[in-house]
Structure 1
Amino acid sequence: MRDLGIVQYGAPILVEPARPFQLPVEREEAATIVEKLFATVERLASAHDFSGKGLGLAAPQIGVSRAAAVVRPPGAEPLMLLNPRITHASEAVDERFEGCLSFFDVRALVPRPLQITVETQMPDGTTATAIYEHGTARLIAHEVDHLEGFLLLHRMRPGVDPIPVEEYRRTGEATGRAWTYE
């Protein structure tokens, strides 16, 4: 992942809160960073198959400490997140293995809410609110965590450690298919 321009675990930028944009004043800077994020997501998608569970990338993961992220849920249009904030999270959670581009050689069992409400800013400074569920909620919550300086290691239950990808491949979740919810 480092070869594809992804900042790896241990870099201080990954655990520092990203600086929010002042929109619409910083609209052009936001557009430039989002363009870089989309270009990096395209490079990643051409190098690895993320079609099953989706793909997300936060600006700190490309070395930019600004509050921008891109999420590409499976089978859906990509989402741009500027200054995102989770305003509500359901009490109902599930625990699934997550990967992270900044920890590409491990997977971590992370509890996440099954539904979240997210407020983001648009480049013109207006605010948009949307509700996301299941796998998309998981992807977005992961990226919002990156922007707040939290890593998936911070979200794991105490006493649970990440596992190597080789071990993950022996689990039932390592099929490459989307997470299923009943």
Structure 2
Amino acid sequence: MGIPSGRGSGVVQYGAPVLAEVARPFDLPAEREAAEHTTTMLFASMERIGQVHPFAKGMGLAAPQISIGRAAAAVQPPGRDTPAIVLPNPRITDRSEEDDEHYEGCLSFFDVRAARTPGRGRSAPAAPSGPGTRSSVSLPTGTPRSAIVVM
């Protein structure tokens, strides 16, 4: 049984205008409630998709993939006990010179898999720890693939 595409999964597919638009960043901390709502919607979608397919290697999803034109993503690394990573206003700030070729897919390009050679150890902004603060997270090996695909 595959992942339901289109309306069944709630993930928009290639060709949807929201995927071609630049996602609007959040003005944090002023738009904290909007960012939290978007994060809640991302996790609800990931939970629904995870019930159909467990994604043993983890899963990532960006707000535009669920028709929300905002700059936010969530990554669930492998393992049920591993905490999810929330990326409001994500951007790549560092890249390892070490490459690691791996096949992966995208929920918005259903049934398409391609070889990617992303560097490891990328960093991206994480959820702010307080008003007006910025923080970053170093993503473990394997996780950056999911994070960069959704960004």
| TM more than 0.5 | yes
Aligned counterparts, 1:11-90, within 5 A: 11-50=16-55, 52-75=56-79, 76-90=82-96
2: CA distance between counterparts of 1:124 and 1:54? 30
What SS is found at the alignment partner of 1:80? strand
Q: By how many angstroms is 1:139 displaced?
A: 1.2
Aligned to 2:138: 131
What SS is found at the alignment partner of 2:15? coil
Aligned counterparts, 1:137-156, within 5 A: 137-144=144-151
Contact 1:70 1:78 in 2 (8 A): yes
What SS is found at the alignment partner of 1:56? strand
Higher normalized contact order (CA 8 Å, seq sep 6+, divided by chain length) = 1
Q: By how many angstroms is 1:121 displaced?
A: 4.6
2: CA distance between counterparts of 1:59 and 1:125? 22
| Paired letter, 1:89 | R
Count of matched residue positions in the alignment of Structure 1 and Structure 2: 143
1: CA distance between counterparts of 2:132 and 2:15? 33
2: CA distance between counterparts of 1:21 and 1:33? 10
1:117 equivalent to 2:135? Answer no
| Paired letter, 1:115 | G
The root-mean-square deviation of aligned C-alpha atoms, in Å, is: 1.4
Q: Which runs of 5+ in 2 are unaligned?
A: none
1:100 equivalent to 2:100? Answer no
1:91 equivalent to 2:83? Answer no
Q: What are the superposed Cα offsets for residues 66-109 of structure 1, whole Å, 9 maximum, x if unpaired?
A: 01111000022111110111111112112211111011211111
Contact 1:37 1:59 in 2 (8 A): yes
Q: Once the two structures are aligned, what percentage of the paired residues are identical?
A: 48
Structure number with the higher helix fraction is 1
2: CA distance between counterparts of 1:98 and 1:124? 36
Contact 1:85 1:120 in 2 (8 A): no
| Paired letter, 2:42 | L
1: CA distance between counterparts of 2:132 and 2:73? 16
